[in-house]
Amino acid sequence: MQPRRSRVVVIGAGLAGLFAAAAAAGRADPVLIVERDRFPTTPTPRGGVPQGSHQHVLLHRGLIAAEQLLPGLREELVRAGAVPIDTGDLLWLGPSGWSVPGGREFEILAATRPLLEHVVRSRVAALPHVELRDDTEVRRLCVDADRVTGVDIRDGGREHAALIVDAAGRNSHLPAWLRAAGLPSPDEQVVDARIGYASRLYRADRSWFAGAGLFILATPQSPTGASVLSVEDGRWLVTVVGIGEHRPPRDEPGFHTFLTGLRDPAVADFASRAAPAGPISWHRRTANHRRRYERIRPWPRGLLVVGDALCAFNPIYGHGITVAALQALELRAALTSAPPGDIGRRLLRRIARRAALPWSIATSEDLRYPTSDGRPGLVQAQLGRYTHALDNLAAHGNTRARHSTAAVYHLMAPPARLLHPSLLAATAGAALLGHAAPVERPTALTTPTRPASPLHDG
């Protein structure tokens, strides 16, 4: 029998692979997505997404990009239970103190990762000429001269294609496949601060928690943190973070002891008033890992790498989904002017650039910790001191400092936004004259609207 032919084969049906398939659909039909896992029939975690039980959000720029790829996706996610949140309503305890809440910033959607993936996968599966095939493992690339022509499958089958998109995530085997084909492996960069986190779902009465979400950031001086975020089905996701020897323990009593040791009692208070709605999940594979495929010469035509297979960030910073959506937009733009078989190193360079700013943000933060396997360079160290000064301004009532930092973090503004003359003047003034009064602890954390009592399922 002749092997089936697909013009585009996407390896991996995580969000990066699904976004890439959505980008190719209609521009390079047919599209085949192959996934090693079996797809769950309901929004439940799967083995290929080890961080799937932990906090995930669509940052504002990612929400815009996902909507461009799949029009109507936002409303569909909201109907499925995702919670729209304006980041101006989030309560933040940064290194210098509480940031002033209120004021419109950027909309995000908060939901569990299984729900996000389930809705996106359903939308992509419904696209014309798109096929999703689970329980299918790719074994190697098929390379002919300077071109990738397909992939071999575990059961001995072969899929021919004009374009192969590797979206297999951190566990991508592409470096080994390239070596087997006589091509160079990429240079790799790893920044690992030995950060771990643990998460648990709760049910809680919204009447006594006025905020949409709460974040207590870990710092080098206080290496533990936590967050509380509203998700679908009336639940709340509590995630705790620790660095090095302060990583969350793996037992339930230790989880609660960890909460009581945070530098603010808000999360421990929340958990004591709420009812657990699921088990505790742990995750410790949080290193930032970048493979520099864009530097390989020659790069075979018909091969592209996206998502965590190209550049994986510490998941705690939440940039991975957004970067994958932006990379998919780059693929869609390229396919409007070139056939899939002509895709090559030029597009790969553009896709790698989409990860550059989030890489800088994540690694600059992680390199501040003594547990990291590296140290910040001169520019990174200076940037870190300046962003700490901006955090200090925000903790003393400067709303421009908070909003500008949020704009850069959500990839809605370039880093130059942080050099606005008023911010430079404010940081200089604070250094010379001191700060105004610090922002007080939010009243939403201290004044429940009615006496609280623990809730119980059922």
What pTM was estimated for this model as a whole? 0.93
Q: Are strands 138-144 and 55-58 parallel, antiparallel or unpaired?
A: unpaired
Residue 211 has a pLDDT of 67
- The model's pLDDT over 34-60, given as tens digits with 9 standing for 90+, comes to 999 999 999 988 877 777 777 888 899
Give the 3-state secondary structure of 55-122.
Answer: EEEECHHHHHHHHHHCCCHHHHHHHHCCEEEEHHHCEEEECCEECCCCCCCCEEEEEEHHHHHHHHHH
In the chain, where the domains are located: 8-84+110-190+287-360, 372-433
**Of all helices (H) and strands (E), which one includes residue 141?**
strand 138-144
Closest CA to 349 of 298, 300, 292: 292
Q: Is the dihedral of CA 203, 208, 214, 217 positive or negative?
A: negative
- Calculate the CA 352 to chain-centre distance: 16
Helix ranges restricted to H, 282-344: 320-335
Predicted confidence at residue 49, as pLDDT, reads: 77
Over the Cα atoms of the chain, what is R_g?
23
How confident is the model at residue 204, as a pLDDT?
A: 85
Confidence at residue 353, expressed as pLDDT on a 0 to 100 scale: 97
Give the tokens for residue 259.
């909460």
| Tokens at 265, concatenated | 């009692």
Q: Which amino acid appears at position 406 of this protein?
A: A
Q: pLDDT truncated to tens, each residue of the chain (458 aa)?
A: 344 445 899 999 999 999 999 999 988 779 999 999 999 999 988 877 777 777 888 899 999 999 999 999 999 999 999 999 999 889 999 999 998 777 788 999 999 999 999 999 999 999 999 999 999 999 999 998 889 999 999 887 899 999 999 999 999 999 999 999 999 999 999 999 999 999 999 998 766 566 678 999 999 899 999 999 999 998 999 999 999 999 998 888 999 999 999 999 999 999 988 999 999 999 888 999 999 999 998 899 999 999 999 999 998 888 999 999 999 999 999 999 888 988 889 999 999 999 999 999 999 999 999 999 888 888 778 888 899 999 999 999 999 999 999 999 999 999 999 999 999 999 999 999 999 899 999 887 865 444 444 443 43
CATH class of this structure's domain 8-84+110-190+287-360: alpha beta
